[in-house]
Copies of this chain bind each other. A is one copy, B any other.
């Protein structure tokens, strides 16, 4: 059998790494601070990961929250609202949310960070694009709506408020947001 201490160490270190990322940002993370938070010797970390980025990437891969909730038998518009509300709740306050600025900045400078930042972002986006496309096929949403643009618009509202302003998006506004963007009969 494989030594259970290995898995236990890995887990506590990965968790500590995500918390550190959320707390001090991508540029601020330190192997030593992660070790301290995890209650682990620095050497133990270097036994499992070659360097800092590998650890951070691994940690994020392990602990990022999949922002796509289970949608039951709801209508498309209701599903979109539920999904957006869920995204908003995560974005407004969660460990993951506090990692986002770190990821954005990291993605700007490091191709490896960029790769998984965009990958996880795309995962959320595609769920929504598919949903809206279905809504159009089923006649619930106007065919004038571009699913891709609408998705950027819906998610954008939530992330914009979190990243660029002092007041976060209120998850209770999710329905109102859906109405604004999707329940429309374009004038032109």
Tell whether, in the assembled complex, residue A188 and residue B179 are in contact, meaning their CB atoms are under 8 Å apart.
yes
Closest to A105 in B: B105
One digit per residue, 1 when the CB lies within 8 angstroms of any chain B CB and 0 when it does not, for chain A 144-188 equals: 111001101111111111011110010001001101110111111
**With A160-B160, A176-B149, A187-B183 given, is the CB distance from A25 to B27 under 8 Å?**
yes
- CA–CA, A163 to B180, complex, Å? 23
State the copy count for this chain: 2
Which of A98, A104, A164, A169 has the most chain B CB atoms inside 10 A of its CB? Answer: A164
18 contacts across the A-B interface (CB closer than 8 A): A25-B108, A101-B104, A102-B105, A117-B164, A118-B165, A122-B165, A152-B156, A152-B160, A153-B153, A155-B156, A156-B156, A156-B160, A159-B160, A159-B164, A180-B181, A184-B184, A184-B185, A184-B186
A109 is an interface residue with CB less than 8 A from chain B: yes
Which of A102, A107, A163, A184 has the most chain B CB atoms inside 10 A of its CB? Answer: A163
A89 to chain B, nearest CB (A): 17
A125 is an interface residue with CB less than 8 A from chain B: yes
- CA–CA, A172 to B96, complex, Å? 33
A24 is an interface residue with CB less than 8 A from chain B: yes
